[in-house]
Structure 1
């Protein structure tokens, strides 16, 4: 089986993807700042799991890992929702993506390698709110222009930074990822917190559309992109049935608390005070189309929010 090099392999998605790849028989190299000291909790098939080190700031990388890899899955990047968006944090979010892509391009152009394809993360932050002019009737498609705000500009620079690998003769696939639902971290964990107190927190009006994806569907799309040579270019990694914030919150409450919960609305002005500029994304309605990846032959394991929450809860 092939060897897959994963950057960002210690994150929520990276850990799950590593497990799924090992279960399928792939060898996996996890690239991180700590190398072997940055171990994940993966225990199965450890013989096929190894670690390598890079330094994005210094633009250095373990050459042996590049030489050993057949494919690269690039997930690395500072968490968008981990902290308030100060000027310094926004710079870190953008640079962690742009500079890591530059290091991959540099490595593939200077180190002898057998890499056949690079599958890189991006995000649906590329798109604007639903009321923008680029929105077709069935949701944003991959042809839409990047929205001229912080995340739109960041995603544009992110994708432009990894694009040169295509000129090196490598197949390039970019997955613009929606809100990932996982018990290991991210949005779902935050949605669950108020339910510990039997309250369902609906954000703003609750009408904003959330383009989400179950973590296993996302991970399987990375694997699908590796295994299907016809995949090339940009694909939206979102489930085919986006839902409103209110629908998701109430569905989650019913799964976890039955009928014993109290719904309440968190006003937009409160979110703006607490989250600052990041509240724009929390309150933004973005309906994103999954048609292209389905036309490429991918079948969703969890196409509806009920199916996803049934498994996750």
Structure 2
């Protein structure tokens, strides 16, 4: 039975991924600052501390794969100078810690699979972004570039590396969709800005299937966009959610861009940004999305 380390394993994606790996017969090792005992013998918790640059070496030596999801939540707090530094260092320093552990200790890790973000790309102006495009030159893009560079060091150790530039992951349990849904509890389908900005999204189930696919498909290597085949405008995403959740029992409302800028500061740029990203490269490997359209995704998410 093979073992998979997950950093950031207690978050939205990590929790869903753990369930999938267990269903498929893998053991999971969750790296955490507060190691604990779980009830499932196939899940163990091992200690690491990014600030202190310490890690459980035995866990590294037991692992066949590493899935690296760790990083401070980009949308959780206002982007102060210190918060921006925390977002950056939580990604780069954790990658460096993994690299050093692999470099300095005998291990059997075959492949490292790392999260990244579509924040790498710039504003949509009619061009569909692919993995070969150059990064934008803004805070989030610069962060993503540094993030990818920091984990790319593992290839010098002979490890295969897969990087998933992930769009908005849709789940009822957390992330952006949970925030979009909050006004809908009171009957309001709330659209941010004009609503015309493109959102490159992916259903959480498809995202964790992509990570699993990176384990079982030995040929998978390099950078891939982890987005559904059909990006949609923000307005369409919100109204699709409203229809799936409430039928016709909702009222459309708007939050103007200037109000978002006052409330969110610099982070409002990302909320209002239009990003249209291609999934063709991962589809060309044979991967098939279970939820390729926003209608299918929302109907599944709100069918319960």
- Match 2:98 to one of 96, 100, 104: 104
SS of the aligned residue for 2:78 comes to coil
Aligned position for 1:78: 72
Cα deviation 1:120-177 (Å, max 9, x = unaligned)? 000000001102xxx64xx100011111101100000000000110010000000000
User: Which whole-Å CA distance do the structure 1 matches of 2:47 and 2:209 have between them?
Assistant: 25
1:59 is displaced (CA, Å) by 0.8
| In 2: Cα distance, 1:116 partner to 1:159 partner | 18
Q: Following TM superposition, by how much is the alpha carbon of 1:111 offset from its aligned partner in structure 2, in angstroms?
A: 1.1
SS at 1:47 equivalent: coil
Mapped to 2, the partners of 1:249 and 1:48 lie a distance apart of 38
Say whether residues 1:263 and 2:257 are aligned partners: no
Q: Tell me the C-alpha RMSD between the 2 structures.
A: 1.0
**Distance in 1 (alpha carbons) for counterparts of 2:230 and 2:202:** 9
Q: Give the Cα–Cα distance (whole angstroms) in 2 for the partners of residues 63 and 126 of structure 1.
A: 32
Which residue is equivalent to 1:90?
84
Matched, 1:150 2:139: yes
Aligned to 2:168: 179
Q: Give the corresponding residue for 2:277.
A: 288
Deviating runs (4+, > 6 A) in structure 1? none
From 248, 251, 261, give the equivalent of 2:237: 248
The superposition leaves residues 195-221 of structure 1 with CA deviations (integer Å, 9 ceiling, x where unpaired) of 111111111110000000001101010
Paired with 1:304 and 1:170, the residues of 2 have a C-alpha distance of 34
Match of 1:53 among 33, 47, 51: 47
1:65-88 Cα distance to aligned partner (Å, 9 max, x none):
000000000000000000000000
After TM superposition, list the pairs within 5 Å mapping 1:104-183 onto structure 2: 104-131=98-125, 136=127, 139-183=128-172
- Give the structure 2 partner of residue 5 of structure 1: 5
1:236 aligns with 2:230: no
Q: Which residue of 2 aligns with 1:298?
A: 287
Looking at structure 2, the residues matched to 255 and 229 of structure 1 have their Cα atoms a distance apart, in angstroms, of 38
SS for the counterpart of 1:35 is coil
In the superposition, the TM-score normalised over structure 1's length comes to: 0.95
Q: Could you say what secondary structure the match of 1:248 adopts?
A: helix
Q: Structure 1, residues 213-250: CA drift from partner, whole Å, max 9, x if none?
A: 00110101000011111111100000001111100111
Structure 2 unaligned blocks of 5 or more = none
Report the TM-score, using the length of structure 2 for normalisation.
0.98
Q: Distance in 2 between matches of 1:300 and 1:308?
A: 10
Cα distance in 2 for partners of 1:212, 1:70 equals: 30
Aligned residue for 1:36, secondary structure, equals coil
Look up the SS of the partner of 1:263 in the other structure.
strand
Whole-Å separation in 2 of the counterparts to 1:309 and 1:36: 35
